[in-house]
Structure 1
């Protein structure tokens, strides 16, 4: 079975999908991944480690942020050529551009695909044309999607929160399994840590907080 993963950076692929790649390869699957062609040492080092996981990499130009129509059309064409050539049995995408353009390509080629939302992304940090465009495109991508056991996931989160009545808000990480939804972890009393504040604060929507602390 051939599996293709489309992502927006090799470092993220290694960290968050490395175990998946290794398990797929271990089970005898042919694993491919499309990564951006970047002149970055960290990215290049990550690519070398991913190759050792028996994952074949395809590097294509990609503007990770921004929505330049010409560049994005070129990106979608590049996705199309790769997917048509490989003819994977399943395509896995995550982050905004792979989700949107990967979805469009797979629909045209009638190839099964799985879309993952790993976060809203910087496009949602400010109101404007870009944000509305991404929202509208995501509506098209998820038009016929339905999260299985979503009501059950809501209910167990609500019931579990009753045991922590003194905590104002809890973010539950829930996995949907064949046996039903299960908890992975919980995050409570949200706050901005020093590490978060130092890691691209403006792009992560923390500008107001930092301005108040001046």
Structure 2
């Protein structure tokens, strides 16, 4: 089959959908990535993907621009004429659904997150719900990365229960992220946060917690890994990060091509996000047998069993994050290591990438049979 994967960046496909892409190509399908181009294009081509550039404003909320996005996507679909479109990320899901319907092409979205518009509670939320209802109407399959998002879509009447399919995020390559021995150190434990530097990821709460915990435990280290100044309304600029470094509150690690050595050196991975689809960094850290601290919100709480594989804290609360870090610091070495091993077991049982690949293979086969 000729399959298009539509997403808001080629980087997203390389980092989160690569196992799916490789499986589809191994099955004999032709895969074209329809996305804005970036540094990941050459990598995707090296594994057999074709690339079709998609011009889009990733972070804007301009209705006129988004209307043009439908036309651009429809033009691309009519030129490529895929048998099916697999879509990820908000704009590609909504406007891609309109484009695919108008071209008569089967469309399978994956709700990887809801965005601030959907959760604003005002006019923007009503507009977002209306768009989703119109876009997703009569779609045969809609994938979700956590039960909270699925249940919310069911509550709003956007999808029916028979069409909603639940996945364990994007899955995890358990061989690529093997369990690592828990680090022994004479210095203080290392807390690590891996995320784009966005306010919505809880970066400000993490920095404030670091400031307060280090005032009592100066030997404890707080590391921050991720891109600053991202194309997002809640992005944190590099100058702000530099001030935190000068203050001695955090160690900024920038960005890396391979997070595994950084995770291996950490004692606890933290993500105080306001909401997630399925937090990849927590899944990778748990696979490597590292305890987790994250917020009790959709997406995040699905990955952590509170008190067993990590701890949950309140969202948007530096006070709660400080208390949770203190709770972790009171654990002994054996307790922390056991918590990490329990996290690895959870990933093996629930988050193996083969579950995700199998679900997509089943969906493709089902749609192919219906179209035959």
When normalised by structure 2's length, the TM-score is 0.41
Cα 1:198–1:65 shift into 2, 3 Å? closer
Cα 1:175–1:205 shift into 2, 3 Å? closer
Partner secondary structure for residue 195 of structure 1: strand
Partner secondary structure for residue 35 of structure 2: strand
CA distance in 1, matches of 2:320, 2:119: 18
Q: Identify the residue that residue 35 of structure 2 maps to in structure 1.
A: 35
CA distance in 2, matches of 1:31, 1:198: 28
The alignment of Structure 1 onto Structure 2 pairs a total of residues equal to: 172
Are 2:317 and 1:209 aligned?
A: yes
1:211, CA displacement in angstroms? Answer: 8.9
Are 2:61 and 1:67 aligned?
A: yes
Q: How does 1:38-117 map to 2 (within 5 A)?
A: 43-44=38-39, 46-117=40-111
Q: Deviations over 1:129-176 (max 9, x none)?
A: 32221111111223335779xxxx9xxxxxxxxxxxxxxxxxxx9549
Q: Please identify which structure carries the higher strand content.
A: 1
Are 2:126 and 1:18 aligned?
A: no
Cα 1:103–1:122 shift into 2, 3 Å? same
Q: Deviations over 1:105-139 (max 9, x none)?
A: 11111111111111112323433332221111111
Q: Identify the residue that residue 193 of structure 2 maps to in structure 1.
A: 195
Structure number with larger C-alpha Rg: 2
Cα 1:211–1:10 shift into 2, 3 Å? farther
Are 2:130 and 1:136 aligned?
A: yes
CA distance in 2, matches of 1:11, 1:51: 12
Structure 2, unpaired ranges of 5+ = 148-164, 173-190, 201-233, 235-272, 276-314, 323-372
Q: Deviations over 1:163-211 (max 9, x none)?
A: xxxxxxxxxx9549xxxxxxx89xxxxxxx8626873124454884259
Checking the alignment, whether the CA contact within 8 Å between 1:22 and 1:53 is kept in structure 2 is yes
Checking the alignment, whether the CA contact within 8 Å between 1:67 and 1:130 is kept in structure 2 is no
1:213, CA displacement in angstroms? Answer: 7.9
CA distance in 1, matches of 2:316, 2:117: 17
Checking the alignment, whether the CA contact within 8 Å between 2:36 and 2:56 is kept in structure 1 is yes
Partner secondary structure for residue 99 of structure 2: helix
Structure 1, unpaired ranges of 5+ = 38-42, 154-172, 177-183, 186-192
